Amino acid sequence: MEVPQIEKSLKGEEIGNLGLGGLRLTLRLCYANFIVYLLLYVTGMYINIYITSGISTIGIGDIANIIHMLWAILNFVFTFIVMVVGFLYGMRKVALFSMGAIISLVTATAAGMLFVTSGGSRQSGSLTLAGGWIMSIMFMLALFLSYYATLKIMRAIRISELVSQRGK
Amino acid sequence: MTVALTENEKLSRTLHRIFLVLYLQFAFYWATIAAGMFVNYYYAVPSTVQATFSSVLLQIFAAPSLFAHVIFAVLSTSMSIPVIFLARRVGLSKVVLLHSGAITSRLVGFVAGPLFIYYSTSSISNAESANISTFTMASVFLLAVILTFLSRIFIVREDVRIKFTEPVQQTIVGR
pLDDT tens sequence across A7-46 = 666 777 888 888 899 999 999 999 999 999 999 999 998 9
What are the extents of the domains in chain B? 29-163
CB atoms under 10 Å from CB of B154, counted, come to 18
Give the A:B interface size as CB pairs under 8 Å.
Answer: 59
Using the beta-carbon criterion (under 8 Å), do B26 and A144 form an inter-chain contact?
yes
Using the beta-carbon criterion (under 8 Å), do B163 and A132 form an inter-chain contact?
no
Structural domain boundaries, residue A154: 19-167
Q: What is the pLDDT of residue B174?
A: 44
- Tell me the whole-structure pTM to 2 decimals: 0.83
What is the C-alpha to C-alpha distance for residues A35 and A133, in angstroms, rounded to an integer?
Answer: 23
Q: Nearest-CA residue of chain B relative to A126?
A: B41
Q: Which of A23, A45, A93 to mutate to test the interface with B (most CBs of B within 10 A)?
A: A45
Is residue A13 domain-resident? no
Q: Which of the given ranges, A53-57, A94-98, A137-141, B162-166, has the highest pLDDT on average? A: A94-98
Q: What is the pLDDT of residue A167?
A: 67
The CA distances from residue B158 to A32, A51, B101, B164, in Å, are 24, 45, 20, 10
SS (H, E, C) chain B: CCCCECHHHHHHHHHHHHHHHHHHHHHHHHHHHHHHHHHHHHCCCCCCCCCCHHHHHHHHHHCHHHHHHHHHHHHHHHCHHHHHHHHHHCCCHHHHHHHHHHHHHHHHHHHHHHHHHHHHCCCCCCHHHHHHHHHHHHHHHHHHHHHHHHHHHHHHHHHHHHHCCCCCCCCECCC
What's the total number of domains in chain A? 1
Which residues of chain A neighbour B149 with C-beta distances below 8 Å?
147
- Is it the case that residue B78 has pLDDT exceeding 60? yes
Q: What is the pLDDT of residue A5?
A: 67
Which residues of chain A neighbour B163 with C-beta distances below 8 Å?
9
Among the partner-chain residues B34, B127, B156, the one whose CB lies closest to the CB of A154 is B156
Using the beta-carbon criterion (under 8 Å), do B163 and A9 form an inter-chain contact?
yes
Q: What is the pLDDT of residue B175?
A: 41
Is residue A122 domain-resident? yes
List B5's β-bridge partners, or say none.
B172
Which residues of chain B neighbour A55 with C-beta distances below 8 Å?
none
Which residues of chain A neighbour B157 with C-beta distances below 8 Å?
154, 158
Using the beta-carbon criterion (under 8 Å), do A45 and B135 form an inter-chain contact?
yes
Does B34 touch chain A if contact means CB atoms closer than 8 Å? yes
Which residues of chain B neighbour A168 with C-beta distances below 8 Å?
none
Q: What is the pLDDT of residues A47-96, one digit of tens each?
A: 988 888 767 788 888 899 999 999 999 999 999 999 999 999 999 999 99
